[in-house]
Amino acid sequence: MASLAFSATGTNVFPSYMTVSDNPRRARVGCTFAMAELKKKGKTRELTITNVATELRPLVSPPAKEVAGEGKLVAWTSIQQERWEGELVVEGEIPQWLNGTYLRNGPGLWHLGDYNFRHLFDGYATLVRLHFENGRLVMGHRQIESEAYKAAKKSNKLCYREFSEVPKHDNFLSYIGDLANLFSGASLTDNANTGVVKLGDGRVVCLTETIKGSIVVNPDTLDTLGKFDYSDSLGGLIHSAHPIVTDTEFFTLLPDLVNPGYLVVKMEPGTNERKVIGRVSCRGGPAPGWVHSFPMTEHYIIVPEMPLRYCAQNLLKAEPTPLYKFEWHPDSKGYIHVMCKASGNIVASVEVPLFVTFHFINAYEEKDEEGRVTAIIADCCEHNSNTTILDKLRLENLRSYSGDDDVLPDARYNFIPISMH
């Protein structure tokens, strides 16, 4: 799911940026725009922006052939042009003190010629920019120039393995070649449609769950500048789609598919080198659980282990399976691990009720009267303790949604006691 960048300071045309992600110190992101916690002159303000613009007149003609099912709900309609920028008509009034830029990425293109993608997460990434200045709002969007997108645009067909899509092979030899590329990661997508972060050195990076899908962009022009190449030797093919980033810290998780567990890594501002803080070994299942995001407190990193686990066999198949590259292992149970940021030691590892989550809401430390941490509270958006959310996010279901079925997650409260010994 998309994260964003926002600045509430500066009055020049292209101000500085502040990233917002799944972090207790950051804003909570809504479905359409966002509720951003803005700080200006020592005061905290909350802002909700909805319905700020009238409908835009298309600047180019829509596709000659209407894409099946795309006309009902605008939210699931492919963009009509690769790049656009213009001032939006404001209904109501935008506060004069709100000056800054909001960046967000997400799936924006769900078809290639006559071929329609099946899942929300497959869409090729669109980067959106909203610039607020003196009560005016300028919007722009542009497709992120990933290798997957450029290859698809050139050949008019799928060329890389997306979330639920596998390229069609001309023959058995091409399938074998695809498998060989899969082990090296070459055939995995770099479609950076999941998050935007601003690093401590000012670089803005769009992300997805494949490590190769880390792409540097220009936050002003939305141009794709190139790959963010990690300079360490940690390797791996996947990481958390939503790292936790501040001006001085960058933390993420690297699932280990060979020896089930997670590497917790940190990267200093101004470098491309990840360094290992510690490792969490899985307590259940044949593989690590899917880790789309994770929370952090001042002193601890919380590592979720869901029973929805990565599955190498599904990844190798020529056709997508019902759960794509995952398998549901309820017998393996669910766990939450807590690691000390300073030492890398595991200070708690508890079994929790079965859970499926994409995003965490909040995490914080509870302390006793002497200031010692006694527990971690970690709240997440939990999807009915099963895998039905993956099916509900298929485009066919999203476009035909009538409002009768409950698709909203529950807020799950997790209490993790910390031993003081």
Rounded to the nearest 5°, which phi and psi values hold at 227?
A: -75, 145
To which residue do tokens 């997790």 refer?
A: 414
Query: CA 138, CA 367: separation in Å to the nearest integer?
Result: 45
- CA–CA distance, 105 with 217 (Å, rounded to integer): 11
Is 359 annotated as belonging to a binding site? yes
334 φψ region: left (φ > 0), alpha (ψ -120 to 50), beta (else): beta
3-state helix, strand, coil in the chain (%, to 5): 10, 40, 50
Could you give the angle at the alpha carbon of 207 between the alpha carbons of 299 and 126, nearest 5°? 140
Residue 397's H or E segment, with its range, is helix 395-399
Say if residue 383 carries a ligand binding annotation: no
Token pair, residue 217, equals 């962009």
Sheet containing strand 373-382, edge to edge, reads 357-367, 373-382, 410-417
Across 167-260, the runs of DSSP E, i.e. the strands, are 195-198, 204-207, 215-217, 224-227, 244-245, 250-256
Displacement of CA 87 from its chain's centroid (Å): 28
Residues 85 and 144: their CA atoms lie apart, in Å, by 15
Give dist(CA 109, CA 125) in Å, integer: 7
Q: CA distances (Å), 384 to each of 154, 181, 373, 389, 394, in order? A: 41, 36, 31, 8, 17
Please identify which residue in the block is written with the tokens 């200006």: 40
Binding site members: 242, 292, 359
Which residues participate in the annotated binding site for Fe cation? 242, 292, 359
